[in-house]
Structure 1
Amino acid sequence: MSPVRQSQVDEKERRLFLYGRRHFQISAKVHLSDVTFEQGFRSRMDNQRSIRRSKKLMEIQGCQRLMRKNHLPVIMSRNDWRNRVVVDHSQEDMPYLTVVGDYQLHALDHRNLIAAACQWLDIDDQWWIADIYVTNDDVANADSTALHHEFIQSMTENFTNDNRPPDGLIYERINYYEGFLDGPQDRLAADNWYAVLQVVVGSRKRKYLERFFKIEKLHLSLNSLLVIGGLWEDMRIGVLHKVTAMCCDEAVSCYWQTILTTFNRLVMGRRELLSRIDGVSVNLIQSRAPKVSDQDLRFLQSKMDDGQLFRHFPDDIRYELWEQLQDIDYPIPTLKTFFKDRIYLEVAQSVMKQLVPPPVWDKRLTIDEGICQMFDTAVSIPHSLGAHYLREDLLEFWRFSFQYGFEMTEHQRLKGTEGHDVRNSSSLIRHRPTTLSESDLWRHLYAKLRSRGFRLLEAGYPVEPEPELPPLIPCDYPEETTEEIEVEKRCGKPFSNTVEADRFALSAESLQQTSEATRVTAGFLRKWVFRAFFGYLMENTAVTS
């Protein structure tokens, strides 16, 4: 680090140290019922996974509430210090602070630790240690205001190496301090968050993130989801390099837009409500299709009745959201489902990338753009218009790649569970997956491109008659009409026991059908994930054979 840079860090730390020492008042016991926390992005994001982890640790090592690192930092005004709290110094070990009336102590850190402690400690033993900082009631000038906010920032954004914040919070804070959101750029604060990514030796997450920021379409599309804090507990910065390397920007952005559209539909277009959707609710509704599945509807009804679903909304709005939720007829997508479904998209991408020329080292093209460049026409089509003019062709190539991608690449399906295989053994015999030659599938795809006017690379693309593929078997899985695909298996790569159902669902004939589903099957899921990625190509476009 340069001397100038280090001097900036030293100066900032000195200001914060002196500010804290000047305004520190007392360390005292407080009752947990008197403590509250800010309801912002970080709190909405939380899906209580960290709370469960902290509670497990307490079961092993007890509740360590006297350690300095676990003290609750609390800031209050001088007027509140004089009139809204009472300090009892009669106890020998530590003074006890109580509040007057309905006043609450606003803590700046350890939200999840306190939530776990409230569940773990006996009802008559729910106290904690708070470090009280008292500030002036009025701010003298802009500099003191800025210093006050810097001090609060240092308290709320302080993490130990063994308690890393989730990737979702890191992503949101870096975007904020880089100036991509509604705040001013703060280089030192941004670097503090980048440093969190480097806790693990050899981590390349910072490089992944910086590379991702350079792809504006993807960056802006993902940032549009930051308004829904409840989605972000399942953010995975370590996978962003795979997202960018796929060069499927249009499909990825379409999926993220589908997430936003779904939650906008849930809140009836009232954007101000999106920020109040919490991580617990997102976990409960993701991958569920309440209008299609009676099982999903009953499950969500139980969570609505016990208050877990949409818990941060007043009752009247909760029931409005519930009415909207019941009308959603497809598996609700989230960031968690995206990172799983991305692996499925990668199968089709492995087919499509073999159709386009190798990228020029200094020029990044998406697969759609590469395919459009191969269209045999004397008039050059700009990248911005290529997908619009050729979207029927692009849709067909992507459809075929999804339909037969596992047979044309080295990707493997997930292994079907033995329980299902045994129970449906007769069904599997009737619908044993048709063996298809990899070379025949490639020849079929090459012929399809030629017939639609696309040039192919000279090497490896022999001109041969288009082979006939065996007819598809109209079927679905599970066959039993009372059964559905389990919620945890509704995203990501499909299983080995759904091959024929998947092929038929991804056929042109099946994708054109508009009949309403009555349960969540393999075919229903394959159609859905294809539309989630390629809805941008399907609007007013007929799927053809």
Structure 2
Amino acid sequence: ELRWKACLRGCRPKNLKGLLLDEKFTAGFDALLDIPGVWDGMRLTTLQKMMAMGCRDECLNYLRHIKEVFTGLVGKDALGKIDTATVKALEGRAPGASTKDLAELRGGKIFSAFSDREREMIYERLQMIDGLVPSLFTFFRDIQYLKLCIDCLKRLVTVPKRESVCETLARTYSDKNQRKGHVKIQITEDSFVDQAGTPADCIDLGIRQLVALAMRYYPAMKADPVKENPVRMAPTKADPAVLRSLAELASRLGFDTPQIRELIRYPSLRTVRLDSSPSMPLHVTSGDGVAMDHRSGIPRTEAYEEDRVFLFVTQLHNEQQNWGEGITSFFVRKSVYLAFFGRPTST
């Protein structure tokens, strides 16, 4: 152990030390030691940024998701037989939705340590995967996107050290503006419905709805620039009307902080609102669909613009499953969201 640690260069030794001091993150990564093939995607250079994001629970959800997907394919006792080539072939694929992906996996040389009969059983299970196949490689790319969204929510609260943004938000829930026994669900920019739910559901689904708004508007809520002159306030790059929309939604969902009350005083511009769309997003398409190198990380501008009108929890939690030749960018966005946040326990 000491010999391979001595081989680390640059920021890697410091980042690894920081990881080992965090018991929860260490346990999350340790759980993947059973799968040797995923470790080619480990990025020690990114660990410090990951731990500073304030998204521990969401990151741990993603790491558990990796373990669950591969365990579902081969069983926990055979995880050690999954090699790097297999993981590289699987990561980012959607064999449960894309006929093209499934066909390419069948034609490849994967799961080489398994018998022909075992491989046939694995191919059957591949078709049951909901969303994209995750890996450590996709994880470290996708946290770049998660950071953009969570940074938006940081404008609503002051996050104590060692607490996540979502944990802090949960503590600010006040039951204000809420109907007892019900949860407000935003279905378009300007319309809501009530569904039965507990206070815990209000908190969970409320935070998810704030995340969804951040997914729709994060380019307009960029972090403020660093102040070069401590006396003079640096101008914000964020759109104040969008910040107000975020705060208004938080307040309407029952969250209350000084930051929320301050942002609600910002000017309101109707032009920032997205047009309501009665249509449903497509999950699959004819043709190749989204290219492999666009299935993780920050979405391309064209994909972002196409998908943002559908980024509400009613669509992100929709359990419909379709088969098609390729997958759409909305399928990718939904898969990444669910990898970090999972499905809600409430109906």
| TM-score category of the 2 structures, normalised to the smaller one | 0.7 to 0.9
CA contact (8 A) 1:266 1:321 kept: yes
Match of 2:20 among 206, 213, 232: 213
Highest RCO, 1 vs 2 (Cα 8 Å, sep ≥ 6): 2
Determine whether 1:470 maps to 2:274.
Answer: yes
1:241-390 alignment runs, 5 A limit: 241-267=48-74, 270-303=75-108, 308-359=109-160, 363-376=161-174, 390=203
Q: 1:310 to 1:239 in 2, by over 3 A?
A: same
CA contact (8 A) 1:369 1:387 kept: no
Determine whether 1:234 maps to 2:41.
Answer: yes
Q: 1:223 to 1:470 in 2, by over 3 A?
A: same
1:437-516 alignment runs, 5 A limit: 438-457=239-258, 460-463=262-265, 469-473=273-277, 474=279, 481-516=286-321
Instruction: Note the aligned Cα RMSD (angstroms).
Output: 2.7
1:22-171 alignment runs, 5 A limit: none
Q: 1:241 to 1:325 in 2, by over 3 A?
A: same
Q: Normalized against structure 1, the TM-score is what?
A: 0.52
CA contact (8 A) 1:372 1:387 kept: no
Q: Secondary structure at the match of 2:263?
A: coil
Distance in 2 of aligned mates of 1:224 and 1:480? 36
Q: 1:290 to 1:406 in 2, by over 3 A?
A: same
Displacement of 1:467 in angstroms is 6.1
Displacement of 1:497 in angstroms is 1.1
CA contact (8 A) 2:174 2:255 kept: yes
CA contact (8 A) 2:283 2:331 kept: no
Specify the code of the residue in structure 2 equivalent to 1:284: A
CA contact (8 A) 1:403 1:506 kept: yes
Distance in 2 of aligned mates of 1:388 and 1:226? 34
Aligned residue for 1:405? 218
Distance in 2 of aligned mates of 1:253 and 1:387? 21
Displacement of 1:387 in angstroms is 7.3
Q: 1:391 to 1:315 in 2, by over 3 A?
A: same
1:176-215 alignment runs, 5 A limit: 190-197=1-8, 200=9, 203-215=10-22
Of stretches 464-473 and 522-531 in structure 1, the one that deviates more from structure 2 is: 464-473
CA contact (8 A) 1:266 1:324 kept: yes
Distance in 1 of aligned mates of 2:150 and 2:92? 23
Q: 1:328 to 1:454 in 2, by over 3 A?
A: closer
Q: Which runs of 5+ in 2 are unaligned?
A: 177-198, 225-237
Specify the code of the residue in structure 2 equivalent to 1:364: R
Distance in 2 of aligned mates of 1:368 and 1:480? 34
Distance in 2 of aligned mates of 1:464 and 1:242? 31
Q: Which runs of 5+ in 1 are unaligned?
A: 1-189, 379-385, 412-436
Q: Secondary structure at the match of 2:258?
A: coil
Q: Secondary structure at the match of 1:471?
A: coil
CA contact (8 A) 1:228 1:275 kept: yes
Q: 1:375 to 1:339 in 2, by over 3 A?
A: same
1:520-535 alignment runs, 5 A limit: 520-535=327-342
Q: Secondary structure at the match of 1:453?
A: coil
Distance in 1 of aligned mates of 2:288 and 2:104? 15
Distance in 2 of aligned mates of 1:513 and 1:228? 30
Specify the code of the residue in structure 2 equivalent to 1:223: D
Distance in 2 of aligned mates of 1:288 and 1:470? 31
Distance in 1 of aligned mates of 2:151 and 2:31? 28
Determine whether 1:391 maps to 2:189.
Answer: no
CA contact (8 A) 2:274 2:309 kept: no
Q: 1:520 to 1:377 in 2, by over 3 A?
A: closer
Shift >4 Å, 4+ stretches: 386-389, 464-468, 473-480
Distance in 2 of aligned mates of 1:376 and 1:464? 22
Distance in 2 of aligned mates of 1:221 and 1:346? 19
Distance in 2 of aligned mates of 1:243 and 1:395? 20
Distance in 2 of aligned mates of 1:325 and 1:478? 18
Q: Normalized against structure 2, the TM-score is what?
A: 0.80
Q: Secondary structure at the match of 1:390?
A: helix
CA contact (8 A) 1:280 1:309 kept: yes
